[in-house]
Amino acid sequence: MQLNHEPPNKPNSIFSKPQTWLVIGLILITAILIVLFLNRNDPVSEAEVTEDPAKGLETVSTSSDVEGSSPILPDSPIQPPDPYVEAYQQATVLFEAGQYEDAIVSYSEAISLDPESASAFNDRGNAYTQLGDLDSALADYERAAELNPGLPEPIFNQGWIKKTQGEYEEALNFFRTAGEMSPLIGYDVSTNRCLIYYELGEFEQAINECSAAIAIEPARYWAYASRAIVYLGQENYQDAISDYQQSLLLKADDSDALWGLGWANYKLNNYDTAIEVTQQAIDLNPTEPRLRFNLGLFYVAADSSDKALGAYQEGISISEELDDETRTDLFTTAIEDLQDLAENKPEATEEIEQMITLLQN
């Protein structure tokens, strides 16, 4: 009879066998090795998570191995700033701020660093132009054109100088050449040619040029105002009013356009409107004596002699700042305008003579 040494009712256990313990040991060792392998430090991870102590939040810094990153090459030299570029940019900032004398100094520095820079010469010429030094401006424009014959700006600018100096035929040639070089400046070319033809008394050609400019850029005010000047020259006051009104829709603070609008209404006997828009022009440009004299003229025409006297007195006071030649021309024109009014409004002769005496004294 075989004896059973196990307690009654207890099942046989696998732990009671020696080979079983060996298997268990191997399993435990394998598990430990797997855990260690999974928790190892990876030296080539794509992203390293760090903590930003200032924010208390996690930030991700991507290494240069990640696709799309821009690694910094430690042996890449840092490019030093270009002295010419710095001088030119400084000059441009000064010019845009209206500091033209300082801009000229900086443009001159840029030119000393790069004597072949057509842009620096052209832009320095613009600064000279703003200061009224047209001879220096012209010399710079000519030099810019020599350095870069394909650049339209200095050609155009030479045309502007010639127009200002009254050399109209030369100006027309420069503008034509600039327009052929660059259609992009066609608006400015046509508008300037419009004003030249006006000065030459060729009104129809002037209107054609201004109309061409308007067709190119209908949202710019200058060509409308320029064509209105031509219409005034033709005594076509209604069309002048239409163009001045369109111009003012595009640039409401143009005191010259308001002056013209006032004059055109005066010539059509719209005295109240003439007074209103001329007062608006004075509000925009209070130091212009011509506007005061026009306002006085319109008040005389509207039978407001007391207001006319005040306007003329203000104009005389303001004009004291002008040089003698300019002041004489201004007063001569004001007197002629009063004399013309006397012919059309003889009933106002006494008041008109009063204003003329004031201007003559």
- Percent of the chain whose pLDDT exceeds 90: 77
pLDDT for res 12: 34
Q: Tell me, yes or no, whether 277 and 236 share the same domain.
A: no
* Tally of domains in the chain: 3
pLDDT for res 72: 36
CATH number at residue 243: 1.25.40.10
Among the ranges given (30-39, 42-51, 298-307, 315-324), the one the predictor scored with the smallest mean pLDDT: 42-51
* Mean pLDDT value across the chain: 84
pLDDT digit string, tens, across residues 216-225: 999 999 999 9
Q: Tell me, yes or no, whether 198 and 299 share the same domain.
A: no
Q: Tell me, yes or no, whether 243 and 300 share the same domain.
A: no
3-class SS of residue 50: strand
List, in order, residues 6 or more apart from 296 with CB less than 8 Å away.
307, 308, 309, 310, 311, 312, 315, 334, 355
List, in order, residues 6 or more apart from 353 with CB less than 8 Å away.
342
Q: How far out from the chain centre does Cα 136 lie? A: 24
- Percent of the chain whose pLDDT exceeds 70: 78
What is the pTM assigned to this prediction? 0.74
Q: Tell me, yes or no, whether 233 and 317 share the same domain.
A: no
pLDDT for res 36: 46
Q: Tell me, yes or no, whether 247 and 260 share the same domain.
A: no
**Phi, psi dihedrals of residue 161, rounded to the nearest 5°:** -60, -45
pLDDT: which is higher, 98 or 13: 98
Q: Residue 7 domain-assigned?
A: no
Q: State which residues form the domain around 94.
A: 82-157
pLDDT digit string, tens, across residues 282-301: 999 999 999 999 999 999 99
> CA nearest 118: which of 139, 146, 90, 137?
146
Q: Is the pLDDT confidence value at 70 over 80?
A: no
3-class SS of residue 283: helix
pLDDT digit string, tens, across residues 80-108: 679 999 999 999 999 999 999 999 999 99
Q: Tell me, yes or no, whether 198 and 276 share the same domain.
A: no
Q: Residue 165 domain-assigned?
A: no
Query: Which tokens hold the place of 129?
Result: 């132009």
